[in-house]
C-alpha cells in the first residue's frame, strides 16, 4: 500500500537498512579490538549474551513503538500515555533523542570524514599526487572540515531521497558491498604470515578477564552503541515498517546481522594486527596491551599496508572504503531522526527538513573541528555514555509501563493472530518493564560515579 509517509518496500530492504544503521564504525573498529584486549572468545561470548539479553529487548521496544505509532520519536512517545503530564514527558524524551542523535552525528561525521580521506589518499598517492594524498591523512582543521562537509553532503544526499528511494535503495546497494569487501579482506589477510596468532587470540577464551565489572560495562556500552539504541533511529525505521511484518522476527534478524558483522570484522582486524607484528610494526602499547581504536586504524593498519607495496594500495583503499560505507549507512539513520520530526511536526518538505537539520549539524560539527581538543571528547562522552543509556531507560519505561498492555498485544497481533501464545509475549513485556530499566540504570549509575 502506498502511504504518504515513507514505507520500506520489502522486508529485506528494512533489514538491510536497520542493519546498516547498526553496522558502523562501532562494529568494525570498536568490537574486534575490545575483544582482543579482553579475553578474546570470552569477550565474544559476553557480548553475544548482552546483545541478546539486553540490547535485543531494547531494540524491540523502539521498533514496536515506531511501528505502532508510525510517527517520529517525539510524536510517538507523546502519544503513548493517556495522561497529559506523561505525554509531555514523552515529547521531552523525544526531543532528547533528537538532540542526542544530532550530537552523535556531529562527531561521527568527523571520524567518517577521516575514513573518506584515507580511502582517497592511497589511489591519489599511487597516481603521483603524493602531496594531496598526504594532506588527506594528516590531521589539520582545514582537512577535518573539508572531509566532514563532504561526508555530511553524502549523508544529506541519501536522506533527501526519502525512505524508499534514498535510505532503502542505498542500504540495498551498500550493505552487500560491505559484506563482500569485509569477507574478501578477511580471507586475504588470513593467508598471511602471523594471521594465525591473531586468530588464536580471538578464538581462545580467557575467562578470567571477562568477569570484571568494568568489562561488562564496556561490553554493554558497545552493544548499545552498536545497535543504535536510545535516540530514536530504530524507532523511526520501525515506523516505516509495514504492518504486515512480524517485528520480533525481523528485529532478531537485524540483531543477528549486526552481531555477525562484528564477529566477521574480528576475523579481519585481529589477524591483521598480528600480521603487522610479524612484519615489525609495533602493535603493543607501553603497558603491554594491544594498541586499539584510533592508533590501530590510523597508525598500525596504514603501517601494515605500507609493508605490502602494490597490494597494500588496493587493500588500504578497500579497507577505508569499507569503513566509509559502514559509516554512511549509519549516519543516514541518525539524520533521519530530526528530519522526520521536522517533516511531521513542522510540515517542512523533506528537502527543507534535510537542508535545515543537516546544515545545523554540520555547523555544530564545524564548531567541534575548530575546538577539537576541548569539544570532541566531551560531545562523545555526553552523548554516548550518559544521554544514550538514560534515554534507553526512558524508552523501556514508555514501552513497559506507559503503553497499555492491550494496545501492545493488538500491535503484535497485526500480523500474528497467535501472538498471545508466543514466548515473546510471555517474556518481553515483563522484561522491558523491570529488567531492562534496572540493569541499564545500574550500569549508568556506575559510569556516572
Ligand atoms: N550503530 C552505529 C555504529 O556501530 C552507529 C549509530 C548509528 C548510532 N545510529 C546510532 C549510535 C544511534 C548511537 C545512536 O557505528
Residues 6 or more apart whose CB falls under 8 angstroms from that of 293 comprise 29, 30, 33
Cα of 98 vs its chain's centroid, Å? 16
In the block, which residue shows the cell 521496544?
Answer: 61
Between CA 130 and CA 146 the distance in angstroms is: 18
The answer to whether the beta carbons of residues 416 and 424 sit under 8 Å apart is no
| Residue of 17, 18, 23, 24 with the most ligand 1 atoms within 8 Å of its CB, for mutation | 24
In the block, which residue shows the cell 525512505?
Answer: 163
384 alpha carbon to ligand 1 midpoint, in Å? Answer: 9
**3-class DSSP assignment, residue 221:** helix
Q: Give 284's strand partners.
A: 290
Is 224 near ligand 1, meaning CB less than 6 Å away?
A: no
433 alpha carbon to ligand 1 midpoint, in Å? Answer: 24
Q: Which residues in the chain come in under a pLDDT of 70?
A: 1-4, 209-213
Can you give the pLDDT at residue 1? 36
Between CA 16 and CA 303 the distance in angstroms is: 33
The answer to whether the beta carbons of residues 62 and 80 sit under 8 Å apart is no
| Residue of 29, 73, 330, 390 with the most ligand 1 atoms within 8 Å of its CB, for mutation | 330
281 alpha carbon to ligand 1 midpoint, in Å? Answer: 31
Between CA 353 and CA 47 the distance in angstroms is: 37
Phi, psi of 290, rounded to the nearest 5 degrees: -70, 140
Q: Which residue's CA is the closest to the ligand 1 atom numbered 3?
A: 24
Is 26 near ligand 1, meaning CB less than 6 Å away?
A: yes
Classify the phi-psi angles of 30: left when phi > 0, otherwise alpha if psi is within -120 to 50, otherwise beta: alpha
Can you give the pLDDT at residue 210? 62
Is 228 near ligand 1, meaning CB less than 6 Å away?
A: yes
Can you give the pLDDT at residue 340? 98
CA-based nearest residue to 258, from 241, 291, 234: 234
21 alpha carbon to ligand 1 midpoint, in Å? Answer: 6
* Helix orientation angle between 436-448 and 213-226, rounded to the nearest 10 degrees: 120
Between CA 329 and CA 26 the distance in angstroms is: 12
The answer to whether the beta carbons of residues 170 and 325 sit under 8 Å apart is no
In the block, which residue shows the cell 530492504?
Answer: 13
129 alpha carbon to ligand 1 midpoint, in Å? Answer: 34
227 alpha carbon to ligand 1 midpoint, in Å? Answer: 6
Render pLDDT for 162-184 as a digit per residue (tens, 0 to 9): 999 999 999 999 999 999 999 99
196 alpha carbon to ligand 1 midpoint, in Å? Answer: 31
Can you give the pLDDT at residue 286? 84
Tell me the whole-structure pTM to 2 decimals: 0.95
Between CA 7 and CA 236 the distance in angstroms is: 11
**3-class DSSP assignment, residue 243:** coil
CA angle 272, 275, 280 (to 5 degrees): 125
Between CA 238 and CA 40 the distance in angstroms is: 34
Between CA 165 and CA 160 the distance in angstroms is: 9
Between CA 90 and CA 60 the distance in angstroms is: 18
In the block, which residue shows the cell 527543507?
Answer: 352
Q: Which residue's CA is the closest to the ligand 1 atom numbered 11?
A: 228
Between CA 113 and CA 96 the distance in angstroms is: 26
The answer to whether the beta carbons of residues 167 and 161 sit under 8 Å apart is yes
For 379-424, the DSSP string reads HHIIIIIIIHHHHHHHHHHIIIIIS-HHHHHHHHHTS-TTGGGSHH
Is 21 near ligand 1, meaning CB less than 6 Å away?
A: yes
Largest CA distance in the chain: 67
Can you give the pLDDT at residue 39? 76
For 137-183, the DSSP string reads HS--HHHHHHHHHHHHHHHHHHHHTHIIIIIIHHHHHHHHHHHHHHH
Domains and CATH numbers, the chain: 11-448 (1.20.1740)
| Mean pLDDT of the residues in the chain | 92
Is 24 near ligand 1, meaning CB less than 6 Å away?
A: yes
Burial class from Cβ neighbours inside 10 Å (0-12, 13-18, 19+) for residue 84 reads exposed
Is 34 near ligand 1, meaning CB less than 6 Å away?
A: no
408 alpha carbon to ligand 1 midpoint, in Å? Answer: 27
Can you give the pLDDT at residue 211? 60
104 alpha carbon to ligand 1 midpoint, in Å? Answer: 8
Can you give the pLDDT at residue 371? 98
C-alpha cell at 170: 542505498
Residues in the chain: 449
Atom of ligand 1 nearest to the CA of 227: 1
CA-based nearest residue to 238, from 340, 310, 315: 340
**3-class DSSP assignment, residue 284:** strand
Is 100 near ligand 1, meaning CB less than 6 Å away?
A: no
Render pLDDT for 10-29 as a digit per residue (tens, 0 to 9): 999 999 999 999 999 988 88
CA-based nearest residue to 298, from 141, 108, 32, 117: 117
Amino acid at each position: 500500500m502506498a502511504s504518504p509517509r515513507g514505507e520500506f518496500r520489502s522486508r529485506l530492504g528494512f533489514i538491510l537498512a536497520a542493519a546498516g544503521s547498526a553496522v558502523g564504525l562501532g562494529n568494525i573498529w570498536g568490537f574486534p579490538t575490545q575483544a582482543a584486549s579482553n579475553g578474546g572468545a570470552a569477550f565474544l561470548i559476553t557480548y553475544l549474551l548482552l546483545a541478546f539479553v539486553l540490547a535485543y529487548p531494547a531494540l524491540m521496544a523502539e521498533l514496536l513503538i515506531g511501528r505502532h505509532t508510525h510517527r517520529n520519536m517525539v510524536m510517538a512517545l507523546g502519544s503513548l500515555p493517556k495522561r497529559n503530564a506523561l505525554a509531555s514527558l514523552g515529547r521531552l524524551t523525544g526531543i532528547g533523542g533528537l538532540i542526542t542523535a544530532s550530537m552523535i552525528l556531529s562527531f561521527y561525521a568527523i571520524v567518517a570524514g577521516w575514513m573518506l580521506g584515507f580511502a582517497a589518499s592511497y589511489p591519489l598517492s599511487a597516481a603521483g599526487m603524493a602531496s594531496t594524498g598526504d594532506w588527506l591523512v594528516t590531521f589539520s582543521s582545514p582537512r577535518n572540515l573539508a572531509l566532514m562537509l563532504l561526508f555530511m553532503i553524502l549523508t544529506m544526499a541519501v536522506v533527501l531521497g526519502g525512505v524508499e528511494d534514498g535510505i532503502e535503495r542505498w542500504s540495498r546497494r551498500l550493505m552487500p558491498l560491505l559484506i563482500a569487501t569485509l569477507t574478501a579482506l578477511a580471507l586475504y589477510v588470513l593467508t598471511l604470515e602471523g594471521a594465525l596468532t591473531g586468530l588464536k587470540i580471538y578464538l581462545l577464551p580467557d575467562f578470567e578477564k571477562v568477569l570484571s565489572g568494568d568489562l561488562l560495562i564496556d561490553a554493554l556500552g558497545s552493544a548499545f552503541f552498536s545497535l543504535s539504541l536510545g535516540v530514536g533511529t530504530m524507532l523511526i525505521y520501525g515506523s516505516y515498517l509495514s504492518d504486515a511484518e512480524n517485528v520480533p522476527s525481523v528485529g532478531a534478524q537485524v540483531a543477528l546481522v549486526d552481531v555477525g558483522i562484528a564477529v566477521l570484522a574480528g576475523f579481519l582486524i585481529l589477524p591483521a594486527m598480528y600480521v603487522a607484528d610479524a612484519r615489525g610494526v609495533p602493535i603493543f602499547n607501553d603497558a603491554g596491551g594491544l594498541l586499539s581504536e584510533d592508533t590501530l586504524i590510523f597508525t598500525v593498519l596504514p603501517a601494515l599496508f605500507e609493508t605490502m607495496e602494490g597490494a597494500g594500495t588496493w587493500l588500504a583503499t578497500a579497507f577505508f572504503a569499507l569503513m566509509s560505507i559502514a559509516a554512511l549507512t549509519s549516519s543516514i539513520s541518525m539524520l533521519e531522526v530530526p528530519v522526520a520530526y521536522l517533516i511531521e511536526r513542522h510540515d517542512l518538505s523533506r528537502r527543507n527538513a534535510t537542508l535545515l537539520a543537516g546544515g545545523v549539524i554540520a555547523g555544530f560539527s564545524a564548531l567541534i573541528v575548530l575546538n577539537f581538543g576541548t569539544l570532541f571528547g566531551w560531545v562523545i562522552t555526553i552523548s554516548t555514555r550518559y544521554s544514550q543509556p538514560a534515554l534507553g531507560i526512558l524508552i523501556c519505561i514508555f514501552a513497559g509501563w506507559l503503553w497499555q498492555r492491550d494496545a501492545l498485544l493488538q500491535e503484535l497481533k497485526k500480523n500474528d493472530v497467535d501472538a498471545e501464545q508466543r514466548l515473546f509475549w510471555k517474556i518481553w513485556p515483563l522484561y522491558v518493564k523491570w529488567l531492562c530499566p534496572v540493569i541499564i540504570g545500574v550500569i549508568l549509575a556506575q559510569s556516572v560515579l
